[in-house]
Amino acid sequence: MPVVHVNVWKGFEQEKINYLIENLTKVFVDLDIPAEAVEILIHEVPQSHWGIGGVPASEKFKGVEIPGWKK
């Protein structure tokens, strides 16, 4: 059945991860897929390994506070 991969920066708050797991599952349940058949995988990627516009996110967002993310 459905397997959903979600990539987030390392340090994403556990509360937010739990929210994603619960609510992404609900989307599929609304499509009549049993919750037990839905798998959600959260992948934490260091900002230094995540490029945006040719620049690592660790540089692009240096000094910027991002809600839901702990450095």
Active-site residue list: 2
CB 10 within 8 A of CB 69: no
Assigned token pair, 64: 């910027």
Structure-token match 């490029």, residue found: 51
4: enclosing H helix or E strand: strand 3-9
